[in-house]
Structure 1
Amino acid sequence: MTRPANRRTQTVEFVRASSRRGRSRARSWLPSLFTLANMLCGFAAILVSFRGQYSLACVLIGTSVVFDIADGAVARLVGAVSPFGLQFDSLADLVSFGLAPSLLTFALFSAGRDGFDPLGWIACFVWVACAAIRLARFNVTIDPTADKRFFVGLPSPGAAGVVMASVFAFSDVLEGRDRLWVLLVVVVPGLLMVSNIRWRSFRSLVSPKSRRPYGLVTAAVLIAVGLATVPVLTFCAVAYGYLFSPLLVPVVAPLGRLVPARVKELLS
């Protein structure tokens, strides 16, 4: 009489275990879907760049930045951080923030000319090489004891933001004309990606463990209003502000003493 009960118990446990495994697999793949969307937007940005749709390419790269932020936040939220996810994210970033910005800049720089242009080729390759080195260095130097508030080297999404802002602001004026522009917009941020300069990380602001995301919400609202009213100025202010933040923060930090403690607490 006990055998049917045991069989039923085993069947129920098997079904429950299968359900748990299914949910676990679904959770593990969820961040990868955001990473895949990141790569898709970067790939699409490359395609539209060679069709002369530079603004659309910038929007697609900007969307890649959003998905890149989201995949890490989702992975931490569902507890699905894994070595596979780390490597997949780096490969997607190489497409979206390595190849896409460099090819966008080269398409704008060459302005449809098919002849050999060594300056453009070298400048854009420097960007791709630096982005690859930056991502590889990040993967192999992960230190649990390191200060999570900072990145060593300019993050590739931040460097891509400089390219996007520059294209939005100056593409109509400088298309295929100013060779120095390519050197400044591509080579300089590219080299900063492999530098030892520290840039502030805002991962804690988008962490699921953040219980008071008032600073993030305030910044998001201000940026959204700026993009709706003065998009070019806002885009340049955010991108170049982050680029020069290692120089600006020590200068602006003393002004933080003038902010009331209550306001600091609310925005923290």
Structure 2
Amino acid sequence: MIPSLFTLGNLFFGFLAIIWTMNGNYQVASGLIILSVLMDSMDGKVARKLSVSTDFGRELDSLCDVVSFGVAPAILTYKVLLEGHMGFWGVLLAAAFALCGAVRLARFNVLNITTHFVGVPITFAGGLMALLVLFYQSLPWIVYPIALALLAFLMVSSFKVPKLGK
């Protein structure tokens, strides 16, 4: 149960990020997604430390991750930069990011590979987008659709990414 509290903390912060995005508090929303990254990194570590990894915990983690690192960063990036510059194409790009994240998580759950990830993990992709949004006033707007598209592609790619911190 303890690791699941961290997992639900991940979802809670992702949900709050969406709310803060809707209210125009983009810096706070970015910070909340970054807090979700912290919660996500803790749930797995705690589960391994306590030897309580379960199929339920893995499924819950993926459901929470799709919100916190797929939907929340996509909406945030859309509202901050894509809406004004790309309109409907920005909607499609943000949706593609979230959809690719969901596909990536589903593939992760069925492959059960312990030595590496196949494709860039959604936690990294969503966390990076949140971090980039923190600097949206300093970077050219074109960076964001390129980063969103590239990360969406990398999530569903067959690139092997080493697992760190195990």
TM-score (norm 1): 0.58
Deviation at residue 49 of structure 1 after TM alignment: 0.9
In the aligned structure 1, how far is the partner of 2:162 from the partner of 2:134? Answer: 25
Q: Quick one: which of 28, 41, 48 aligns to 1:76? A: 48
Please name the residue that 2:163 is paired with.
201
Deviation at residue 173 of structure 1 after TM alignment: 4.9
Structure 2 unmatched runs, 5+: none
Structure 1 unmatched runs, 5+: 1-28, 205-268
2:118 paired with 1:152: yes
2:92 paired with 1:122: yes
Per-residue displacement from partner, 1:45-91 (whole Å, max 9, x unpaired)? 01101222111111111110111011111111112111100100000
Per-residue displacement from partner, 1:10-55 (whole Å, max 9, x unpaired)? xxxxxxxxxxxxxxxxxxx111111000000000001101222111
2:36 paired with 1:34: no
Tell me if the contact between 2:97 and 2:149 (Cα under 8 Å) persists in the aligned partners: yes
Please name the residue that 2:149 is paired with.
187
Per-residue displacement from partner, 1:78-135 (whole Å, max 9, x unpaired)? 1211110010000000010010000000111225x9xx92211110011011000000
In the aligned structure 2, how far is the partner of 1:201 from the partner of 1:77? Answer: 17
Q: How many residues align?
A: 165
Tell me if the contact between 2:62 and 2:105 (Cα under 8 Å) persists in the aligned partners: yes
Larger gyration radius, structure 1 or structure 2: 1
Please name the residue that 1:26 is paired with.
none
2:137 paired with 1:172: yes
In the aligned structure 2, how far is the partner of 1:125 from the partner of 1:102? Answer: 7
Identity across aligned pairs (percent)?
A: 36
Deviation at residue 156 of structure 1 after TM alignment: 0.7
Match of 1:203, SS? coil
2:19 paired with 1:47: yes
Deviation at residue 203 of structure 1 after TM alignment: 2.9
Tell me if the contact between 2:119 and 2:154 (Cα under 8 Å) persists in the aligned partners: yes
In the aligned structure 1, how far is the partner of 2:118 from the partner of 2:124? Answer: 13
Tell me if the contact between 2:34 and 2:131 (Cα under 8 Å) persists in the aligned partners: no
TM-score (norm 2): 0.92
